[in-house]
Structure 1
Amino acid sequence: MSLPTRQERASKLISREPLDPAEAKWIRLVKLNYTDPLGVQRVWESAERQSRPKNAHIDAVGIVTLLEKETGPELLLQKQYRAPLDKITIEVPAGLLDEGETAEECAVRELREETGYVGVAEKTSTVLYNDPGFCNTNENLVHVRVDMSLPENQNPEPQLEDNEFIECFTVPLNNLLEEIKKLDEQGYAIDARVGLLAEGIELSKRMGLR
C-alpha cells in the first residue's frame, strides 16, 4: 500500500476551541496596564511570542527574493495553508530566528530550507511590527540575491520539515498587484507583506518614482 504524497490531500480545519495557557508552546496572552497622555489608567489585551531567542530583538524574518528571468525580474512567493485563517496564503518565504543567529543568516537559511535556492543577503529593513495593536511580533525584511547561473540554483530542492507543506512559485514583479488580485479572487489569503509590496510598486509607478 503506497503512502499519500505530500500534495495528495488538502489541509482542513477540524475544530476551534480555547487554548489552555498551560498547553501554549508558541504564544501567550498578557494583560497590559498603562496610562494614556491624560494620565488615565487603561488596560490592553495582547499576545506575545514565546519563541524569541534570548538577547534577540526580532522574532523572525521575511525574505524578498527576485529571480531574474528573460522577461524581467520575478518575485519568489509561496503558498502555505494557515490554520488560523483556514486558507492557503500567498506569502514571501519567512521563518523564525534561531538562537545566536543574525537576521541575514536566518534569511539565507530559511530561503534554502523552504525553496531550495542558495542566496546572499544584501539589504535588511528596519524592525517591522506585524500587528502592533494586537501583539508584539516583529521581524526584519531581508533582501536576498539569488544567482541563477550557479549550478545549485538550476534545480532547487526544498528541505522541508515534516509539518511543512509549501509550494513555491514566481510572479512578474511589474504585474504583482494584478496577479495577487487574481489570487484573491481565487480564494487565497494575501499576506500583508506581499500586498503592501505590490501597493508600493503601484504607488511608485503613479508617482514616477525611481
Structure 2
Amino acid sequence: MSPSNKSKVLKTEPLDYREAKWATLVKTTYTDPHGVERNWESSERLTRPAGSEIDGVGIVAVLQDPSKPDTPPQILLQKQWRPPANATVIEVPAGLIDPKETPEQCAIRELKEETGYVGEIVGGAFGVSPVMFNDPGFCNTNLRMIHLTVNLSLPANQNPQPELEDNEFIETFSVPIKDLWKECRRYESEGYAIDARVGTLAEGVECARRWKLV
C-alpha cells in the first residue's frame, strides 16, 4: 500500500441484504437471442434519486492559469484509499448526484467540496459526456463525465479549501495531461491502484499522441 494512507482492511465478511445502505445484489431473469431463459447475478445501487438517469458524475477538471499561457494544462487528480481495493487509488474527483440536481450542478458542487476549487463547465457538446456504465456486466452503476476548467487566476482559486466529510481522506494533486499515461505507470509501480476513469483518460491521451490524431 502506498505510504500516503495508513488505512487497512481488518476483515471481510458476507453482508446481510437488510443491512445494505449503498448497494444490493439482484438476480435478473432474461431470455437470450434464441429464447433460452437465463439468470444473471449483479449489483444495484440503492442511492440513485427518483427521476435521475444517473448515480453520479466523474469530473475532468483542467487547471489553467491565464497569466502563464505557455504552461501545459494540468489535470486535477486525487489519492483516496478504497476498502474494496485495499489500496490508495488515483482518481478524478467524483460524487453521487443529489435529488433534482443536474449533472453540471453536481460536478461544480463536488469539485468545490472535494478540492476547494471553483470550476466552470466547458462550453458546447463536450461539457457533458453520454451516460457511461462503469462495469455493466456486474452492476448498474452509471455516470456522466463532466469537463470543467479551473481558472487559477480567480480569487476563489487562490487558496482552495476542501470541505470533506469526516470519513473522507482525500489528497488532491495535479499532473500535466500530456504525461498522464506515464504518471499512471509510475503510480502503479509505487503501489497505487488506478481508477478506470483515470486510466481510460490516460490511454486516450496516449493513443492520440502515438497515432497523431490531433
Give the TM-score range, shorter chain. over 0.9
1:46 and 2:42 aligned = yes
- Quote the Cα distance in structure 1 between the aligned partners of 2:5 and 2:72: 34
- Quote the Cα distance in structure 2 between the aligned partners of 1:152 and 1:168: 17
Matches within 5 A, 1:15-164: 15-68=11-64, 70=68, 71-122=71-122, 123-164=127-168
Moved segments of 4+, more than 6 Å:
none
TM-score by structure 2 length?
A: 0.93
Judge which range, 166-175 or 8-17, deviates more: 8-17
- Quote the Cα distance in structure 2 between the aligned partners of 1:61 and 1:183: 24
Query: 2:6 corresponds to which letter in structure 1?
Result: A
Cα deviation for residue 119 of structure 1 reads 1.0
Relative contact order higher in (CA < 8 Å, ≥ 6 apart): 2
- Quote the Cα distance in structure 2 between the aligned partners of 1:62 and 1:9: 22
Q: State the percentage of identical aligned residues.
A: 57
For structure 2, which runs of at least 5 residues remain unmatched after alignment?
none
- Quote the Cα distance in structure 2 between the aligned partners of 1:114 and 1:10: 20
| Residue 189 (structure 1) aligns with | 193
1:14 and 2:10 aligned = yes
1:209 and 2:205 aligned = no
Matches within 5 A, 1:169-184: 169-184=173-188
Cα deviation for residue 68 of structure 1 reads 2.2
Judge which range, 69-78 or 98-107, deviates more: 69-78
In the TM superposition, what whole-angstrom CA distance separates every residue of 1:58-92 from its partner, at most 9, and x where no partner exists?
00100001112543111100000100011000000
TM-score by structure 1 length?
A: 0.94
Instruction: Give 3-state SS (helix, strand or coil) of 2:130's partner.
Output: coil
Query: 1:133 corresponds to which letter in structure 2?
Result: G
For structure 1, which runs of at least 5 residues remain unmatched after alignment?
1-6
Instruction: Give 3-state SS (helix, strand or coil) of 1:34's partner.
Output: strand
RMSD across aligned positions (CA): 1.3
